[in-house]
Structure 1
Amino acid sequence: MQKRPLGNSSLTISAIGLGCMGMSEFYGATNDAESILTLNTALDEGINFLDTADVYGPFKNEELVGKVVRKRRDEVVIATKFGIVRDPNEPAKRGFSGRPEYVKACCDASLKRLGIDTIDLYYQHRVDPTTPIEETVGAMSDLVKEGKVRYLGLSEASAQTIQRAHAVHPISAVQSEYSLWSRDIEEAVIPKCKELGITLVAYSPLGRGFLTGQFQKYEDLAPDDFRRNSPRFMGENFDKNIAIVQLLTRWAEARGITPSQLALAWVLAQGETIVPIPGTKRVSYLKQNLEAVDIMLSKEELAELDRISPKEAVAGTRYVEAMMKFLNG
């Protein structure tokens, strides 16, 4: 497995990480035994960067990942997040908190669920508009001093917020959706991360599965799949977006690779400071994704992909309107 340095840290992480969210929620039926097998296989294959969050489940995903991590602690760089508040009785509702006392309580709870003494990378999942980022990162910095956390990260933060946070304590990673159909961060966030030596962790590098080509119609999504409520998967947007995916699929097949491998290879080609974390709960997809590390795209091929899927081509927003205002906070 190729490795890439984690920004502003002493750690190196696998060039492809593993997003664990779907193992517990959101993407249809789950199977803990299959997920644990996938987690162990990922470590066996050289993936050392696992991504979870307290909100996934909620709480169940950290417990699941912890069953593997605590037994193979020396092999894992574990990242988790706080900041999205869910009511266990009404999990569809969302709130946000970056209050210092909340930060510290969440960290203690995550450590307990994971069954470990220290979190390698601790993210604020969404920027709390009611709490200055300096206060939130100050509390996160205290966790580093206490030995509960090694390095700090932000998720879906604007360039300005990243700069302010980094002035309080070095930021090692910024996580954002980034793929062939989600490129809005190229204008300001990615340049700011490069300027400050921060790794960009790309979640949903497969376009929430859309870029794999497995969905040909809206009905292909499971009834309980949250993507049924995603603007990019609905109505005319689906039809417009699937047309792009079909072009990418034909391009990939002509090159002898899968559409998902193409999508990952494209992200990897954007630079050593970017690490994709595709999510999967199946060993077969995991191994397929890993092969993307060895796929090299030429400048000419990258230019052709830009022509097929230009920045402005995707139809629909990444999230519903209520959630969009909390992106790039």
Structure 2
Amino acid sequence: MQKNILKSGLALSELGLGCMSLGTNEKQAQEIIETALESGITYFDTADIYDKGENEKIVGNILSQYQQRDDIVIGTKVGNQLKPNGDMVWNPSKKHIKENIKQSLQRLGLEHLDLYMLHGGTIEDPLDETISAFEELKKEGLVKGYGLSSIRPNVIRYYLANSDIEVLMSQFNLIDNRPEMLMDEVHEKGVKVLARGPVFKGLFTQNYNKALTQKFNDGIFEYDADTLAKTVSQLHDLEPELTALTFSYLKSFDALGSIIVGASSSEQLRQNVAQYDKTIDPAIVKKARAIVKDLNYTHHLK
């Protein structure tokens, strides 16, 4: 599988496993992770809040069985603090970031992290303090690289200009093509994109009609329900392999680091890998892009 190299030298498999949907059944999770490794996937994405930390424990425990491999990359996230009463609060402070990494490392069974990402962020955050926390963790050898998970252009641009982030995670697919407006800026800084939501809640699968009915009944973004249904139908007429189509669209960007797919079963993951392996004619991808609307972020611009 294609590997994309970060500034730190970390090599990400171009298809990564989003671990949030693994669940808490460790046997089932192990089957999915083993399927990922057998398929050439070596990037695993988790977060401290997934299943209140249980996800990190499960991912760490399973991947510890493969310590002899030097190609596995693990990324986790920080910023959402779970209070003892169960409330979730946003906390991008240096104190929280530097304390929380100890807990993530313990749950993952690691001495250092490959990738540590801020799990959100607003322009009102103590931005320089947050950045300095990640920089200090790098100097201390606790993280190899750090990044940002965000869809806020003003926050993304601040980090591009004032930090040494290596990755930007954003929802990105043929319908939600808003990240395109930032791709040149991201690529110029040598930052790689982690594209989450590539199949967009099933919209880019063979079950797209079910997804339209159950998850997009009110439309999305600038699409009403009818327009969205018509657009996806046109895409399907152009290229029936909708997953391969949206994957090929994402692979056309030089800034791509990894396409993050979730999987609740080994079979679902195998299907995603098979779609990733298919080559869609760039001319078809170009036609598909012409079918969908040109979307831009309209909030959090300044």
| Fold shared per TM-score above 0.5 | yes
Give the TM-score band, short-chain normalised: 0.7 to 0.9
Give TM-score scaled by structure 2 length.
0.86
1:34 corresponding residue in structure 2:
28
- 2:44 and 2:75 in contact (8 A); partners too: yes
Provide closer, same or farther for how the CA distance between residues 239 and 171 of structure 1 changes in structure 2, counting only shifts above 3 A.
same
Give TM-score scaled by structure 1 length.
0.80
- 1:156 and 1:328 in contact (8 A); partners too: no
Corresponding residue to 1:244 among 220, 231, 234: 231
- 1:269 and 1:297 in contact (8 A); partners too: no
> Which letter does structure 1 place at the counterpart of 2:19?
C
Corresponding residue to 2:204 among 187, 204, 211: 211
2:21 corresponding residue in structure 1:
22
1:5 corresponding residue in structure 2:
5
The superposition leaves residues 12-41 of structure 1 with CA deviations (integer Å, 9 ceiling, x where unpaired) of 1111111111123xxxxx644222211111
Distance 2:185 2:211 in 1: 37
> Would you say how many aligned residue pairs link Structure 1 and Structure 2?
299
Corresponding residue to 1:53 among 33, 47, 68: 47
Alignment partner of 2:166: what SS?
strand
Distance 2:139 2:246 in 1: 39
> Which letter does structure 1 place at the counterpart of 2:237?
R
- 1:67 and 1:114 in contact (8 A); partners too: yes
> Which letter does structure 1 place at the counterpart of 2:36?
A
- 1:138 and 1:168 in contact (8 A); partners too: no
- 1:37 and 1:283 in contact (8 A); partners too: yes
1:185 matched to 2:179: yes
Distance 2:25 2:237 in 1: 32
- 1:15 and 1:275 in contact (8 A); partners too: yes
Distance 2:144 2:111 in 1: 11
> Which letter does structure 1 place at the counterpart of 2:8?
S
Consecutive unaligned residues of structure 2, counting only runs of 5 or more, are: none
- 1:267 and 1:274 in contact (8 A); partners too: no
Distance 2:194 2:150 in 1: 10
- 2:187 and 2:254 in contact (8 A); partners too: no
The root-mean-square deviation of aligned C-alpha atoms, in Å, is 3.0
Distance 1:14 1:280 in 2: 16
Distance 1:86 1:216 in 2: 37
Distance 2:301 2:78 in 1: 16
1:80 matched to 2:67: no
Deviation at 1:283, TM superposition (A): 1.5
Alignment partner of 2:21: what SS?
helix
- 2:18 and 2:262 in contact (8 A); partners too: yes
> Which letter does structure 2 place at the counterpart of 1:34?
Q
Deviation at 1:88, TM superposition (A): 6.6
1:103 corresponding residue in structure 2:
97
Superposition pairs of residues 1-329 of structure 1, within 5 angstroms:
1-6=1-6, 8-24=7-23, 31-73=25-67, 74-87=70-83, 90=86, 94-156=88-150, 158=152, 160-166=154-160, 169-187=163-181, 189-217=182-210, 232=219, 237-253=224-240, 258-271=241-254, 273-312=256-295
Alignment partner of 1:79: what SS?
strand
Distance 2:301 2:133 in 1: 21
Provide closer, same or farther for how the CA distance between residues 72 and 216 of structure 1 changes in structure 2, counting only shifts above 3 A.
same
1:321 corresponding residue in structure 2:
none
Alignment partner of 1:201: what SS?
strand
Alignment partner of 2:209: what SS?
coil
Provide closer, same or farther for how the CA distance between residues 57 and 160 of structure 1 changes in structure 2, counting only shifts above 3 A.
same
1:320 corresponding residue in structure 2:
none
The superposition leaves residues 88-111 of structure 1 with CA deviations (integer Å, 9 ceiling, x where unpaired) of 755xx6432110001112111111
